[in-house]
Structure 1
């Protein structure tokens, strides 16, 4: 029984040394006598004990590394603190093992250096507005440099952009001033539009008044013209009737009688309203004779 147990244990130890199980998410770099031999992909593999050994283990899934925050100077000389995230994947375990000492630290340091360089080319406003462009540029530069490392950089994300407290205070004052300026412009524009509307209304009112006055005068003129026309027609009709009456038997005497009546009537009206004596011409001659005789008498007496 003890012998069987020893045989089982010996077999287990031998299999443990001979067989290597590579997990699905990893790959093993195998060295034989200190020299690279092969790369074991996920699955079951055999090794020669004491000759072959697992030199490196690499995570073959996409990995994300935090880029520590660092101070950068923008093109407009503003100090900002920027951190980010880099996403990469081991594509060639052999190069990742022998192409560089530690591809993780290398990728992080290269990301920081590239970020400082690219931030220096942009102003603070452009960094916020063109964050996607900045990310793409950093990914392109890191991927270009890391081709000999056996890794692939998929993307880079700028996580936080934090200007200094002084810059934040200055930006807040600038935003307040900008809002005040826009408010003043809005008020001035509204006042301008109000004045334009008022002047337009006054202009339209004046036009309406002038049109109304013109139409009123036209109507008055047309009314007067019609009145004159009607009076002229009435006078013409009256004259025609008078002429017709004169031509009739006894018409001439009737006209003379009518003229005498009008003369008497007008004379009475004048006598009633006049301050001096008004006499017919015959009576005026008689009165003149008496006044002349009276003057002669006065001369003889003197």
Structure 2
């Protein structure tokens, strides 16, 4: 190998070394990422998105972190409530890396830590709630879990965005028992409604009977009142007749009238008798009838 070949080889080596050093010195960080750089094994700097320069060999990119919002899916798990009921719940935690250095150096695996912290906190919150409250209290569960884990996430250089409860439902056995209880409650309400209807019908029937009896009593009372009025009117008529007769007695005409009346009554009774065959006609019949007619005329004039 001649001198020219050696020089050319050395130049190529230098060129490759320069290209490598230039590659090691220049770093372009994409948007949505931040890189953790160590110098001689110690944390040195965080590279932001864009063009950055490092000292080759001395500076090393240790971790590339995603600064976008991260999603931690929690698998469905069985949790026992305060009243010893088993519910199945699943949730999602949304968070971001706010301090990359803490996220790398304060905890070994922040993603696993977030998942475990959210799961244990969720079990603790549900364990302090009754079954009905847990099934209907999604907002209360989210607020309580967020409050409890946000401080821990800050210590790890993370910021909590939101906690969402995906699903919360009773276990299969509990759900079957609840369905039976609901069916029993519906049957109970139906029986109560039926009994209430029968009660109202009985009340309405009794009220109708009561009204009927009242109307009947009022009708009888009205009939009795009219009958009494009729008797009073008849008594008043008899009273006026007696007063008229008394007036005639005072005038001296009543004896002839009464005698004639008794005579006619006797003849009438004799005529109606089944054994009567002979009718006696007195010799002074004409004179007696004239007296009776006159007395009756006088009496009727007085009554008018």
TM-score (norm 2): 0.72
| Residue 149 of structure 1, CA deviation | 0.5
1:191-270 alignment runs, 5 A limit: 191-229=198-236, 231=237, 235=241, 238-239=244-245, 243=248, 252=253, 257-270=256-269
2:178 to 164, 168, 171: 171
Does residue 34 in structure 1 map to residue 41 in structure 2?
Answer: yes
2:90 to 68, 83, 86: 83
Aligned to 1:151: 158
Query: Aligned partners of 1:237 and 1:204: how far apart in 2?
Result: 47
| Residue 74 of structure 1, CA deviation | 2.8
Which stretches in structure 2 are left out of the alignment for 5+ residues?
Answer: 1-11, 281-304
Question: Does structure 1 retain, via aligned residues, the 8 Å contact 2:27–2:51?
Answer: yes
| Residue 179 of structure 1, CA deviation | 1.9
Query: Aligned partners of 2:19 and 2:223: how far apart in 1?
Result: 124
TM-score (norm 1): 0.72
SS at match of 1:146: helix
**Deviation by residue 1:189-216 (Cα, 9 ceiling, x = unmatched):** 2222222222233233333333343344
Query: Aligned partners of 1:154 and 1:270: how far apart in 2?
Result: 126
Query: Aligned partners of 1:197 and 1:238: how far apart in 2?
Result: 59
Aligned to 2:127: 120
Task: Provide the alpha-carbon RMSD of the alignment.
Answer: 3.7
> CA 1:63–1:267 in 2, change beyond 3 Å: closer, same or farther?
same
Question: Does structure 2 retain, via aligned residues, the 8 Å contact 1:136–1:155?
Answer: no
> CA 1:221–1:139 in 2, change beyond 3 Å: closer, same or farther?
same
1:40-55 alignment runs, 5 A limit: 40-55=47-62
Question: Does structure 1 retain, via aligned residues, the 8 Å contact 2:135–2:169?
Answer: no
| Residue 108 of structure 1, CA deviation | 0.4
2:103 to 96, 102, 105: 96
1:62 to 69, 73, 78: 69
Which stretches in structure 1 are left out of the alignment for 5+ residues?
Answer: 1-5, 281-302
| Residue 148 of structure 1, CA deviation | 0.8
| Residue 257 of structure 1, CA deviation | 4.8
SS at match of 2:95: strand
Aligned residues: 267
Query: Aligned partners of 1:113 and 1:26: how far apart in 2?
Result: 30
Query: Aligned partners of 2:79 and 2:119: how far apart in 1?
Result: 10
Aligned to 1:290: none
SS at match of 1:265: helix
**Deviation by residue 1:108-142 (Cα, 9 ceiling, x = unmatched):** 01111122222322343332122322222222221
Question: Does structure 1 retain, via aligned residues, the 8 Å contact 2:95–2:160?
Answer: yes
Query: Aligned partners of 1:266 and 1:219: how far apart in 2?
Result: 33
Query: Aligned partners of 1:264 and 1:233: how far apart in 2?
Result: 24
SS at match of 2:232: helix
Query: Aligned partners of 1:52 and 1:260: how far apart in 2?
Result: 164
